[in-house]
Amino acid sequence: MQCPFCGSDQHRVVDSREAADAIRRRRQCESCDERFTTYERADSVRMYVVKRDGRREPFDRDKLLRGLLRAAAKRPIEPLKLDEVVSSIEAAVRRRGGEAPAEWVGELALGGLARLDRVAAVMFASVYRSIEDLSAFEAELRRLESEPIAGPDQLEIAVLQDDSFPSAEKSTLASPRSMKRREHVSHT
């Protein structure tokens, strides 16, 4: 690394702090005594979104955030909350191996918006689902009203139904009612 002022590669770290997604270091050049800041970030895995027609596109965090911001325009939602939704979607795509269907990403975005503001979710759904007539819009409203919304400390149902989990389709866990029956049968 070279000093941006004189080009020297002789410098020392004066201060280190953690930033949101990096380590911030203040450095002082030993040649010209100027100070400059550097940020160290880990290289991330390239992530992709698979479109409906099979094309693979790089995951674009900013594009997703712009879509959510557009849907939440003039709604009482803090932009920081939308950024958190995008960060959680980004982490979910990373957990899937860095590639996810666009439809899955859209559903996560819709669910995240629905937790924050249902009107914004309807606005997002109208564009995301390409709603063109009033009956489809009404059907989407009914669907959003009827679906339960996961709390901040709960997993979303969509995540639990993800096919990357072995127990997603049919759980082998016994229900509480069947457990009682088995216990009762085994004691007699």
Domain boundaries defined on the chain:
1-43, 48-153
- Where helices occur in 25-175 by DSSP H, the ranges are 61-71, 79-95, 102-116, 118-128, 134-146, 157-160
pLDDT digits (tens, 9 = 90+) for 6-18: 999 999 999 999 8
Spatial separation of the C-alpha atoms in residues 177 and 170, rounded to whole Å? 17
pTM of this structure: 0.57
Q: How confident is the model at residue 45 (pLDDT cuts 50, 70, 90)?
A: confident
Of 81, 102, 80, the closest CA to residue 93 belongs to: 102
Assess contact for 47 and 99: CB atoms under 8 A.
Answer: yes
Question: What does the CA dihedral 146, 178, 165, 95 come to, rounded to 10 degrees?
Answer: 70
Assess contact for 106 and 67: CB atoms under 8 A.
Answer: no
